[in-house]
């Protein structure tokens, strides 16, 4: 049995890696190829055909500027899939690229499975018709998604949220950390931080880091009693961060996001998957978002949801404060951060909401459910 997987960003790499582990547990003979990242490489024990860091383009303007590279990526991906001749294609989030691949794969007679469904409930609802036409099975990770897609008669499987699994696995394997002590690996080994930690998660794309990290760090400078620790994106180099960090009392760790969140008292987080991860660790947070002015104006016209963070979307109310565009400034970030630090007026309520969130997202095993479904369906098709 042969499967080809495509993940186009860091969160997809995480979910893809856990799915690969589950697939290999279900079928030790399964043959895999993929586009993804370091975590998928470690799980599969083979390198990606292409690394996701060459695929991450964010925003309308940025996509237009890189159209030539995007077209070349489509051509290469199709060639890699045809050379491998898989029994099925597993698409993980990344809808701008993956829905086009779904259409092409369907035309080639390749079974298409979509894990981490496109957020068509937020914008581009017309994409739902492509999903209905080109995707054989859609796996959803939020209860409200399942109800949305069922309205369109799409074959959908709700599997729970894979972040529950990823965090549970981390907590099962990690060495217990004393409060506020995190061993860092940048300069000196095994040197603990001596102040309470605030996590900074500025995103995984260059554009995100360039726009948000300077604001986050300047706000952080107003809290000298705390140690600020940046979760460095695996796809970016340490030298890329150096100009932003210069002059600030901040550390950066790569590949240690969960360790940082486990030790953190609060967090400044860019919108996206990281907001949900932070909440599942029970860490009070402030959400920061800045896009290019043109991209933001276009998005505001097209996107029809009330919130940008997954936490607020799940609750359908403001659980975490979202600072967007002009509101995402040093004064506002510092003010909202003070509210979620020890003694802050919003801290206790966020703790309570985090506990409720964990109950809402089920008991885990999402990767196992997806793997079992795919393997069973492919075996049934061969009978």
Instruction: Specify whether 124 is located in the same domain as 195.
Output: no
Task: Please tell me the least confidently modeled range out of 114-118, 133-137, 305-309, 374-378.
Answer: 305-309
Place of tokens 């796996």: 139
Taking only the tens place, the pLDDT of each residue in 346-358 is 999 998 999 899 8
Residue 282 near residue 359 (C-beta atoms within 8 A): no
What secondary structure does DSSP assign to 309-375, as a single string? SHHHHHHTS-SSEEEEGGG-SHHHHHHHHHHHSTT-TTHHHHHHHHHHHHHHT-S--HHHHHHHHHH
Do 267 and 313 belong to one domain? Answer: yes
DSSP 54: G
**What pLDDT, on the 0 to 100 scale, is given for residue 186?**
37
Would residue 9 be called left, alpha or beta, if left means φ above 0 and alpha means ψ between -120 and 50 degrees?
Answer: beta
pTM: 0.76
Average pLDDT over every residue of 284-290: 94
What pLDDT is recorded for position 181? 45
Q: What is the pLDDT of residue 293?
A: 66
Using 50, 70 and 90 to split pLDDT, how confident is the model at 130? very high
Same domain? For 94 and 183 the reply is no
Verify that 277 and 154 share a domain, yes or no: no
Domain co-membership, 156 together with 11: yes
pLDDT reading at 4 higher than 90: yes
Angle value at C-alpha 342, between 340 and 347, nearest 5 degrees: 35
Q: What is the mean pLDDT of residues 162-184?
A: 66
Find the mean pLDDT for residues 318-331: 94
Give the pLDDT mean for 54-80: 73
Lowest model confidence (mean pLDDT) among 137-146, 170-179, 211-220: 170-179
Helices (H), 151-237: 162-173, 206-220
DSSP state of 177: P
- pLDDT, residue 180, reads 41
Q: Based on the domain organization, do 142 and 172 belong to the same domain?
A: no
pLDDT winner (highest mean) among 86-90, 165-169, 170-174, 364-368? 86-90
How far apart CA 209 and CA 270 sit, in angstroms, is 9
306 and 243 in one domain?
Answer: yes
N residues, the chain: 383
> Domain containing 189 — which CATH number?
3.40.50.2000
267 against 377, higher pLDDT: 267
Average pLDDT over the chain, rounded to an integer? 86
pLDDT at residue 177, rounded to an integer:
46
Give per-residue pLDDT as tens, 72-121.
889 999 999 999 999 999 999 998 899 999 999 999 999 999 999 888 87
CA dist 179 and 160 (Å) reads 30
**In sequence order, which ranges of 111-161 are alpha helices (DSSP H)?**
127-134, 143-150
Count CB-CB contacts under 10 A for residue 204: 27
Tell me, what's the pLDDT at 44? 97
222-273 pLDDT, tens per residue?
999 999 999 998 878 899 999 999 888 889 998 889 999 998 999 999 988 8
Residues 221 and 327 in one domain: yes
Q: Compute the distance between CA of residue 19 and CA of residue 366 in angstroms, rounded to an integer.
A: 9
Select the highest-mean-pLDDT range: 30-39, 152-161, 296-305, 349-358.
30-39
DSSP 178: P
Report how far residue 70's alpha carbon sits from residue 94's, in angstroms, rounded to the nearest whole number: 13
Token reading at 55:
């695929």
Pair (70, 178) in one structural domain: no
pLDDT tier, 173 (very low <50, low <70, confident <90, very high otherwise): low
Confidence of residue 2 (pLDDT cuts 50, 70, 90): very high
Residue 5 backbone dihedrals phi, psi, to 5 degrees: -115, 145
Contacts for 160-163: CB closer than 8 Å, 24+ residues apart:
160/361, 160/362, 160/363, 160/364, 160/365, 160/366, 160/369, 161/276, 161/361, 161/362, 161/364, 161/366, 162/14, 162/15, 162/18, 162/19, 162/116, 162/366, 162/367, 163/273, 163/276, 163/277, 163/280, 163/361
Terminal CA-to-CA distance of the chain, rounded, Å?
A: 13
Judging by beta carbons within 10 Å of its beta carbon (0-12, 13-18, 19+), is residue 133 exposed, middle or buried? Answer: exposed
Please name which of 315, 321, 307 lies closest in space to residue 358, comparing C-alpha atoms. 315
Q: Would you state the pLDDT for residue 179? A: 42
β-pairing verdict for 197-201 and 264-270: parallel
- Sequence-ordered list of residues with C-beta below 8 angstroms from that of 75, at least 6 positions apart, any chain: none
Domain residue limits at 230: 167-360
Residues 44 and 150 in one domain: yes
Among 59-63, 97-101, 375-379, the range scoring the smallest mean pLDDT is 59-63
Same domain, 31 and 79: yes
- For residue 104, give Cα distances in angstroms to 77, 78, 110: 11, 8, 9
Domain count, the chain: 2
Name the nearest CA neighbour of 4 among 104, 124, 96.
Answer: 104
pLDDT digits (tens, 9 = 90+) for 178-209: 444 454 443 333 456 778 999 999 998 888 89
Q: Are residues 205 and 106 in the same domain?
A: no
pLDDT at 120: 80
């Amino acid at each position: 049995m042969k499967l080809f997987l495509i993940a186009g960003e860091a969160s997809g790499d995480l979910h893809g890696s856990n799915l690969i582990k589950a697939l290999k547990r279900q079928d030790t003979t399964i043959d895999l190829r993929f586009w993804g990242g370091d975590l998928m490489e470690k799980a599969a024990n083979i390198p990606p055909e292409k690394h996701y860091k060459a695929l991450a383009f964010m925003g309308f303007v940025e996509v237009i500027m890189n159209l030539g590279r995007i077209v070349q990526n489509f051509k290469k991906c199709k060639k890699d899939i045809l050379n491998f001749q898989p029994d099925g294609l597993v698409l993980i989030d990344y809808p701008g690229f993956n829905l086009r691949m779904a259409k092409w794969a369907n035309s080639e007679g390749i079974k298409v499975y979509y894990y981490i469904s496109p957020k068509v409930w937020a914008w581009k609802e017309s994409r739902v018709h492509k999903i209905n036409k080109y995707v054989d099975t859609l796996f959803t990770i939020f209860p409200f998604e399942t109800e949305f897609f069922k309205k369109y008669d799409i074959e959908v499987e709700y599997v729970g949220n894979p972040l529950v699994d990823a965090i549970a696995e981390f907590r099962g394997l990690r060495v217990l950390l004393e409060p506020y002590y995190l061993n860092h690996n940048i300069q000196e080994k095994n040197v603990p931080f001596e102040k309470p930690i605030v996590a900074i998660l500025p995103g995984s794309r260059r554009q995100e880091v360039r726009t948000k990290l300077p604001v986050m760090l300047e706000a952080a400078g107003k809290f000298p009693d705390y140690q600020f620790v940046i979760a460095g994106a695996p796809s970016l180099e340490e030298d890329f961060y150096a100009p932003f960090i210069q002059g600030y009392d901040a550390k950066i760790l790569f590949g240690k996001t969960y360790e940082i969140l486990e030790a953190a008292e609060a967090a400044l987080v860019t919108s996206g998957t990281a907001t949900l991860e932070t909440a599942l660790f029970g860490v009070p947070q402030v959400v920061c978002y800045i896009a290019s002015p043109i991209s933001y104006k276009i998005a505001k016209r097209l996107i029809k949801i009330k919130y940008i963070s997954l936490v607020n979307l799940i609750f359908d109310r403001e659980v975490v404060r979202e600072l967007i565009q002009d509101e995402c400034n040093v004064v506002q970030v510092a003010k909202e951060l003070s509210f979620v630090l020890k003694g802050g007026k919003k801290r206790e309520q966020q703790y309570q909401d985090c506990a409720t969130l964990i109950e809402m997202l089920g008991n885990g095993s999402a990767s196992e459910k997806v793997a079992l479904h795919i393997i069973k369906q492919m075996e049934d098709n061969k009978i």
